[in-house]
Amino acid sequence: MSHDDTLVADAIRVAAAQVRAPERLRVQLAAQQRARRTRQRRTAGALAATLATALAAVLALAHPAGDPGSPSIADAAAIALRAPTLPAPARDARVPELLRASAGGVRFPDYAYGRLGWRADGLGRVRRGGREVVVVSYARGGGARAGYAIVAGPALRVAAGAPRVVRHGVQFAVLRDAGATIVTWRRSGRTCVLASRDASAATLLRLAAWRADDGSHGPY
Amino acid sequence: MAHRPLDPDALGDHVDRLYRAAWALCGRREDAEDLVQDTYARVLAKPRLLRSEDDLAYLLRALRNTHVSRVRAAARRPAERPLDEREAADPREAADPAVVLVARELFAVIAALPAGQRDVLVAVDVAGLSYREAGRALRVKEATVTTRLHRARRAVVEQLREPVLQRAGA
């Protein structure tokens, strides 16, 4: 930078440095900043309210109001995912796609049948809200687990907003609760709940809707 | 490259330098106030992420872009009668008249420079950025900053009456 350049630059800097923003501009900018903070708080509040509403809606799908004291679908799923307390039921030698375990006459399937690949590894029986809930636990290679619960008594209510699919003439509802994927449907008036924290909804639907190739039996 | 959010609450720290830069960009004090307000409104409208530049360099680029947008928008509108500086003066403002006089003449000359020269002069001599920061803010090479700055200073000397620079201390 030449000497002249330096002189001019210094003169401009000196002149510019003496100029200060007027007070009214500072006041207006402070108002803009306050307005931004207010907008931010409102946005955060609205977002929180939206999330709370969405969460409530999701929970309502899995926990719809039913008969007082009766378990919800989510309760049944939680029971289905507990560690089994009894040995696994054996396969029915006469009907190999079924196990020798039932709840109110409704038999449990053997998901190890064919190429399904899920082996029954335990059984559980509990009472909840005056109803018996029978559970068969299944495991697949790699550590994935699933539980199949059949709830005695009148069918449990499924929230109207839950996604539903129909396979082989049976309607299945798909829910999410507490990190678990849940598929529920009815067999002979009983509520069946298949739940897993490891398997996808598609896998659970494939199991729940399984039936023999010739269509002679299933889904179970 | 690491990003960091612009701190909206710290923007007030730069208001003086931005105001000077705005005045030098548009040549009129009242337009400068509007320009700074518009720039802050834009910047505050949503969260901003900065890369390597500092807050002032970012704000200066936002100021210049806002100025360009305003000039384009004004060109599409019917011409308005400029407000008399004396009418618009803020009675609460206790600026030294001599300072205002020098600044008015100086910034009017800077505002009339070709845009490329004007922008580097505003960035370096008015806002106080380094050559490197100015280059980043204006998206030009540092060598370009040097060349344009030299030309801009010479043009200012040629166009500004000698007494103004003398009053300013040259």
Q: How confident is the model at residue A3 (pLDDT cuts 50, 70, 90)?
A: low
- Of A127-136, A199-208, B69-78, the one with minimum mean pLDDT is B69-78
How would you write the pLDDT of chain B (170 residues) with one tens digit per residue? 456 778 877 788 899 999 999 999 999 888 898 899 889 888 888 778 777 678 888 899 999 999 998 888 877 766 554 444 444 444 434 456 777 778 888 899 999 999 999 999 999 999 999 999 999 889 999 999 999 999 999 998 888 765 555 655 55
Tokens 């089994």, residue located: A84
Residues 6+ apart with CB under 8 A from B120: B134, B138, B140, B144, B145, B148, B149, B152
pLDDT at A50: 59
Q: Nearest 5°: CA angle at A71, between A70 and A72? A: 120
CB B126 to CB A30 under 8 A?
no
B156 contacts chain A (CB < 8 A): yes
Structural contact between residues A180 and A97, judged by C-beta atoms closer than 8 angstroms: no
Please give the radius of gyration of chain A, using alpha carbons only, rounded to the nearest integer: 31
CA closest to B8 among chain A residues: A33
pLDDT of residue B101: 76
CB contact under 8 A, B44 and A19: no
Model pLDDT, residue B8: 79
Q: What interface predicted TM-score (ipTM) does this complex get? A: 0.76
Instruction: Tell me if A4 and B40 make a contact (CB, 8 A cut-off).
Output: no
Q: Which residue has the tokens 């010479």?
A: B154
CA distance A185 to A124: 20
Inter-chain CB proximity A22 and B33 less than 8 Å: yes
Class of domain A67-208: alpha beta
For residues A115 and B136, which has the higher predicted lDDT (pLDDT)?
B136
Which residues share a beta bridge with A185? A192
pLDDT given for residue B91 in this prediction: 43
Output the pLDDT for position A118: 93
Spatial CA neighbour of B80 closest among B114, B36, B30? B30
Query: How far is residue A135's CA from residue A101's CA, in Å, rounded to a whole number?
Result: 9
Q: Where are the domains of chain A?
A: 3-56, 67-208
Pairing of strands A131-140, A119-128: antiparallel
pTM equals 0.50
Closest CA to A40 of B59, B9, B36: B9
Q: Around Cβ A47, how many Cβ atoms within 10 Å? A: 10
Task: Tell me what pLDDT residue A217 has.
Answer: 72
A22-81 pLDDT per residue, tens: 888 888 888 888 877 777 777 666 656 655 555 555 555 555 655 666 788 999 999 999
Mean pLDDT of A155-171: 85
CA distance B108 to B104: 6
From the list B11, B19, B156, the residue facing A25 with the nearest CB is: B19
- What chain B holds in terms of domains, given with CATH numbers, is 4-168 (1.20.140.160)
- Distance from the B116 Cα atom to the nearest Cα atom in chain A, whole angstroms: 17
DSSP character at residue A91: B
